Structure 1
């Protein structure tokens, strides 16, 4: 009797295994025919017992499950949770021996996630895009660039806890992002896709014919930006000491990095510590006196600090180094014209006495002098910027008004036409 009981038990196990295989095959056919809900139901019915099966049967189950949850995007609104399930299923299939198909599945899940995240970014749904990009990162933990984009979008969404977590991960693994990013155009979508620093992977897609127009992008180190964001998020959370500690720690690693110096300077500026801000700025200038962008940024900061003369001085130094830096010309003109506000306020406050009339004329001359001083900088912009650009339109509008105020009607008329 004992032998018969054992035999019957083994027969039952065999029947269960056959049933599970049958359900997996039915689920696979349901996926192929587009019945994704049916496929999910069939897979759920056998999932509890699948762990007792051979690796091959388990691998088939997880491949089918991955395809079911991945393909479900075609019939319903895309759900990040479904894609997470698909990715996890493909990962399990890889562990169980289905490496090739599992990797293909994960690559497709990542592609769908990144495409959806790009659409979210277009609609400024940065929290949603961050979640999708971070999910793509977790599927391999190798595409660290995804983690950087996830952190950046979380920051833009003011999801500071997740942003801080992601940026700290990037800092702790020593990610810089410096190097070459390889790209190609997807023939099906017409969009440029990035392959990170994996040239071989990009070339495989080119040879397969799915992508065209291979190219590459040189990327500068993102470490200063990572550290800066950690510090700025701490400032947002009103954790000032942690902000300073974060940037000082980075400075110890790269004491001569001018970007990190400027980041620290910005933090001191935000904290109102202008003495330390000025010390760092002067040190940066000593190290890199030929950097036009540096002088431009200093001009912006000086302008925010309410020192237009200092700002103009920095902008002029930027132009001297790089005569084609047209935005510096725009900002010089803006800084000059901002002085007009005080003149107009005084003019409007004058009465009708002889003394007031005399002062009014003096102020008119001062205002016209400002217009004359600003004119060449605006003319430089409209001579070099495309007419459809915002910079051209803004400069042309202001310059037209200046010409009219200075009595140069022909120039004003020509510019309007």
Structure 2
């Protein structure tokens, strides 16, 4: 009996020693994080990972906070490791569950910001698939931030990672995500970057503190038509036409009067070569929303692609009537007019030296000059409305200078050159 009691006492003592050792390793790991020795911190944490679940919640929470900070160091690396940031995020989430809400939530915000900022840098470097992975990781850390899922889907699409893009868009559709709402923004004085805030009150706190300036409020329209459109277009890309049509028609059943979805279905018919159904839907949309400048502009783009330049110009002109500031409509009208020049030049180059050919050449010269005169006013409007540093302004100046030169309007050409 005595021997058993002694053995039990020794066993209890060993458990106490192990617990003390675990706490020591966690504290040492914390010190390693503070000194920037993240590799050593990870090694120390790994050594006690298997036994930490037997500890009190306070010790577990300390372990996960330390682990989160050790892996959060990935944000300072030249090539940010998505998997390390995900581990950091999951660690902070576990710390929050164990009662360390303050530090845990602060760490989680840092992880999300690191993922998003790195995703933005990836996009600038045209690493769209990497960007999508990081945005999706940011979404998984907090499923309420569905906007990250939307941006992940968009980035994956741009990167032609259609499998992941389709998965993300279908998840958005199943979540009934619309993206409609209000975004409150302000510029961080220290970084010069625009930052988003969940609420107006939260943004105003930063404004009053003086850390942020230039507040702005942005109203976001529903993104559901775009989501369904992308699902359908990806299926078309995969040559799965039946699934593409099924996706859009299901959405139309849910929202039969949604003009955005109507246009999406029209686009699909256009891609399928069913121009009669395309035209019928377009006319229906116009009836429902006759004062929508953007709608007329989009119809001009699509109709132009179909080869009907005159009808496209009609749509663009209507868009300008509804929204005189729509610069791109002016650019596209000028482009549609000048596109007719190609046929004229081809005919001119094919003419011979006979009197009849010379007469026809002169007629074509007049037609060409008329095209230039017709296009010039729209390019002049672009120059009038666009800032000088914009690509649209510079391109319009270049084309107009050539037009004035051909028309013999030397004074105007020189004014643009100067």
Fold conserved between structures, TM > 0.5? yes
- Decide whether aligned partners of structure 1 residues 209 and 20 sit closer, same or farther in structure 2, where only a CA change above 3 A counts: farther
Cα-Cα RMSD: 1.8
- Alignment of structure 1 residues 43-54 onto 2, 5 Å: 43-54=45-56
1:362 corresponds to which residue? 363
CA contact (8 A) 1:185 1:213 kept: yes
Give the alignment of 1:249-398 within 5 angstroms. Answer: 249-398=250-399
Aligned to 1:27: 29
Kept in 2, the 8 Å contact 1:177–1:221? The answer is yes
Which secondary structure state, in structure 2, belongs to the residue aligned with residue 386 of structure 1? coil
**296-305 vs 207-216, which moves further:** 207-216
Equivalent-residue separation in structure 2 for 1:11 and 1:80 (angstroms): 42
User: Which residue does the alignment assign to 2:127?
Assistant: 125
The 5-angstrom pairing of residues 99-248 of structure 1 reads: 99-195=101-197, 197-203=198-204, 205=206, 211-248=212-249
Task: Give the whole-Å Cα distance in 2 for the aligned partners of 1:379 and 1:74.
Answer: 49
Residue-by-residue CA offset, 1:123-147 (whole Å, 9 max, x unaligned): 1111111111111111111111111
Unaligned 5+ runs, structure 1: none
> Which residue matches 1:83?
85
Post-superposition CA distance 1:114-173 (Å, at most 9, x none)? 111111111111111111111111111111111111111111111111111111111111
The change in CA–CA distance for 1:233 and 1:391 in structure 2 (over 3 A counts) is: same
For the residue of structure 1 that corresponds to 2:62, the secondary structure is helix
Provide closer, same or farther for how the CA distance between residues 75 and 324 of structure 1 changes in structure 2, counting only shifts above 3 A.
closer
Offset at residue 188 of structure 1 (A): 3.8
Is the 8 Å Cα contact of residues 179 and 222 (structure 2) preserved in structure 1?
yes
Distance 1:208 1:134, change over 3 A: farther
1:101–1:392: structure 2 CA closer, same or farther, 3 Å change rule? closer
Measured at CA, do residues 412 and 72 of structure 1 come closer, stay the same or move farther in structure 2, by a change above 3 Å? closer
Alpha carbons of 1:283 and 1:45: their partners in 2 closer, same or farther (altered >3 Å)?
Answer: same
Flag the 1:336–1:241 CA change in 2: closer, same or farther, 3 A: same
Q: TM-score, normalised by structure 1?
A: 0.95
CA change 1:351–1:215 in 2 (3 A) is closer
Structure 2: how far apart are the matches of 1:14 and 1:28?
A: 21
Q: Which runs of 5+ in 2 are unaligned?
A: none
Q: How far 1:77 sits from its partner (Å)? A: 4.0
Aligned equivalents of 2:37 and 2:179: distance in 1?
42
Q: State the alpha-carbon separation in 2 of the partners of residues 32 and 377 from structure 1.
A: 62
- TM-score where L is the length of structure 2: 0.94
Q: In 2 relative to 1, CA 187–15 (structure 1 residues): closer, same or farther, beyond 3 Å?
A: farther
Residues 36, 72 of structure 1: 8 Å contact kept: no
- Shift of residue 329 of structure 1? 2.0
Question: SS at 1:278's partner residue?
Answer: helix
